[in-house]
Amino acid sequence: MKFEKPVPVQWVADFTGAKLVGNSTQDATGINEIHKVTAGDISFVDFEKYYDKCLHSAATIIIINKEVAYPEGKTLLVTDEPFTAYVKLVKHFRPFEPSAKMISDTAIIGEGTIVQPGTFIGNNVRIGSNCLIHPNVTIYDHTIIGDNVIIHAGTILGADAFYFKRRKDRAVQYDKMESCGRVVIHDDVEIGAGTTIDKGVSGDTIIGAGTKLDNHIHIGHGAVIGKNCLFAAQVGIGGKAIIEDEVILWGQVGVSKDLNIGKGAIVMAQSGVPASIDGGKAYFGSPVGEAKPKMKELAWIKRIPELWEKVYGNKNL
């Protein structure tokens, strides 16, 4: 997320109660998670093992829980609670704004677009032309939708990222990460009924042009779905997964977070994808393997009793 105008880093330090170390005169221009940062961004890190990655990222301003050596020109904001400081900034720059009516006055809806009754369209939403939004859809604030998009009833775009920091020593253990990312739907997408696409934590959750999603699909925060993909009903995609173009996922497939599915991969129904897989192949199983050897495994399993009998002379279970 980029700010509307630059903010002096000293202001950020004062606002979060952090100690400023390093360059004290530059401006912050946005706020982003480590995998999305660009120059001018504030990011945060609170685990030593990620210090290096964050300090050497494009982020200009780093909220951190220890004063450490840092690259020339960067600013450290040192505080015991980088997560809390980061969340405070998100809430300041992207405060929740209640809506008084079903379609916000700040929403922009293109020519030829039909919005059916019962649909909620939040603040600063932009919808292109010739779209059809069926009844009882919910479109959270800041969502961007292209042209010729069809969204079926009950679908929800832009709910918060499911992202928490655990504090085992507290009574309420999970601290909520506030999200300031958006959902961005490109042209010619169709989304089925009762599907949910969460907003990104700081970046965008993106559905590429021409992709078709069936009913009851879940797309986690910050996932990036390519062009001309086809996902059947009840598929679930974890946060920040990257699904390249023309991927086909059949019904009830589950995809873990933070991985990559290569272009044109096909994943058979009910399979589970726990880690990155190459494009251009078919997969099956939970966890998935390539479909053909995985199917052969099923045949081999059926042969165990015969093998047992050959070795032991009986096949009693």
Closest CB to a second copy among residues 222, 236: 236
305 cis-preceded (ω within 30 degrees of 0): no
Among 118, 276, 280, 292, binds a second copy (CB under 8 A): 118
Distance of alpha carbon 111 from alpha carbon 160, whole angstroms? 29
Quick one: DSSP state of residue 36?
A: G
Window of 17-25, 55-63, 70-78, 92-100 that interacts with a second copy by CB under 8 A: 92-100
Structure tokens, 76: 């450290």
Window of 2-10, 11-19, 82-90, 149-157 that interacts with a second copy by CB under 8 A: 149-157
For residue 282, state whether it binds a second copy (rule: CB under 8 A): no
Q: Which one, of 40, 141, 268, 154, lies nearest residue 277 by Cα?
A: 268
Closest CB to a second copy among residues 69, 317: 317
Binding residues among 168-187 for a second copy as defined by CB under 8 A: 171-174, 176, 187
Distance of alpha carbon 14 from alpha carbon 30, whole angstroms? 17
For residue 132, state whether it binds a second copy (rule: CB under 8 A): yes
Per the annotation, the verdict on 142 as an active-site residue is: no
Quick one: DSSP state of residue 34?
A: G
Closest CB to a second copy among residues 108, 114: 114
Distance of alpha carbon 196 from alpha carbon 159, whole angstroms? 8
Cβ 162 to a second copy shortest distance, Å: 4
Binding residues among 222-251 for a second copy as defined by CB under 8 A: 228, 230, 232-234, 236, 238, 246, 251
Structure tokens, 230: 């086809």
Cβ 192 to a second copy shortest distance, Å: 6
**Residues binding a second copy: number (CB under 8 A):** 82
Distance of CA 95 to the CA centre of its chain: 20
Closest CB to a second copy among residues 141, 204: 141
Quick one: DSSP state of residue 105?
A: T
As beta bridge partners, residue 28 has 7
Instruction: Give the CB-side neighbour count of residue 166, counting CA atoms within 13 A.
Output: 1
Among 6, 52, 164, 280, binds a second copy (CB under 8 A): 164
Among 10, 23, 84, 256, binds a second copy (CB under 8 A): 256
Residue 233 · residue 251 · CB < 8 Å: yes
Q: What residue type is 118 in one-letter code?
A: G
Binding mask 193-222 vs a second copy (x if CB under 8 A, - otherwise)? xx-x-x----------xx-x-xxx-x-x--
Residues with catalytic roles: 221
